[in-house]
Amino acid sequence: MLVQTILIILIAFFAYMHCYVGSTMHNRPIVIAPLVGLALGDFHTGIVLGATLELVFMGAFPIGASNPPDFVSGTIISTAYVVLTGQEVASAVVLAVPIATLVLLLDNVQMTVLLTWASHIADKYAEKGDINGVERVQIIAGIGNKILLALVVGLGFILGVPVIEKILKYIPEFVTHGLDVAAGVIPAIGFAMLARMMLTKKSIPFLLLGFVMAAYLNLPVIGVALFGIAAALVYYNATMTKKTEVVYDDNEF
């Protein structure tokens, strides 16, 4: 259990540190859940949960001062629960959102208290003209924030499974069935949130074309994706060609 807990903490820290290497998005559920499954000895379940939870949190992106639920903690703890207990995938979907919301609240407390305190320390270095001191505070506070979040995830992993099992025993069957139905609806909400940000008048025809290919021509997802790549390249090349055309005017007046 100790080794598993350490691995979970390291995975969480790895996920939270994605912003330090250019926001590579390796904190997404589709990456993190398989790592958790690998650490706990069930890589296949981790892959299935990663794909499922990615649909749930597909539209979860920070926009301005608005932060989405902390899907790293939700993904790790819910995946660990399903892998260790053998529960259905729907259980992970049901658990992931409340866990992610709770850890987001804790992270907001950190940002309000700890990081604000670190900013005041950086201000003192700035008044002295010590740029190296400002950089040290920024690095220590930033990485320290991620370490604390990773430790919270590790604590949730240790305490979470027994507590979650006790809670689920007292949930009536009709509630569990309702949650299973909701688990099938939530991915659609994630798609809708993503589509709302991405769809434009120019991209809607491609979406409809992909839907027709999948629904009526029975093409697999990989086939539709490859067609989408080809269509994107054709559209990009056509657009760039129009922009690079040079118009010569012989009229000197």
Domain end position, chosen among 198, 214, 236: 198
Measured between alpha carbons, how far is 77 from 43 in angstroms, rounded to an integer? 15
pLDDT at 69: 78
Residue at 63 is within a domain: yes
DSSP code for 87 = -
Whether 11 has a pLDDT exceeding 90, the answer reads yes
Q: Is the pLDDT of residue 42 over 80?
A: yes
Predicted confidence (pLDDT) at residue 45 exceeds the cutoff of 80: yes
Same domain, 95 and 72: yes
Region 108-122 average pLDDT? 80
* Backbone Cα Rg of the chain: 23
Please indicate, yes or no, whether residues 125 and 193 belong to a single structural domain of this protein. yes
Residue of higher predicted confidence among 191 and 51 = 51
Domain membership of residue 250 (yes or no) is no
Domain assignment present for residue 108? The answer is yes
Residue 63 has phi, psi (to 5 degrees) of: -125, 110
Q: Are 186 and 233 contained in the same domain? A: no
CA distance 218 to 234: 23
249 in any annotated domain: no
The reported pLDDT for the residue numbered 56 is 78
pLDDT of 155 over the 80 cut: yes
Same domain, 103 and 206: no
Confidence (pLDDT) at 251:
57
The DSSP line for 97-130 is HHHHHHHHHHHHHHHHHHHHHHHHHHHHHHHTT-
Are both 122 and 75 inside the same structural domain? yes
Q: Pick from 182, 10, 193, 174: which is nearest to 98 by CA?
A: 182
Asked whether residue 203 is assigned to any structural domain, the reply reads: yes
Task: Identify whether 70 is part of a domain.
Answer: yes
Is 225 a residue whose pLDDT tops 90? no
Mean pLDDT (the chain) is: 79
> Do residues 147 and 205 share a domain?
no
In a shared domain, residues 148 and 192? yes
Contacts of 144 (CB under 8 A, 6+ apart): 114
Q: Examine the domain organization and report whether 165 and 212 are in the same domain.
A: no
Question: Is 39's pLDDT higher than 60?
Answer: yes
80 within some domain: yes
Q: At what angle do helices 173-198 and 43-56 cross, to 10 degrees?
A: 60
Q: Flag whether 251 is in a domain.
A: no
Asked if 101 and 160 sit in the same domain, the reply is: yes
Asked if residue 89 and residue 214 are part of one domain, the reply reads no
- The verdict on 185 and 223 lying in the same domain is no
Whether residue 134 is found in the same domain as residue 214? no
- Number of domains into which the chain is organized: 2
Shortest CA distance to 13 belongs to which of 76, 81, 86? 76
Residue 230 lies in domain: 199-244
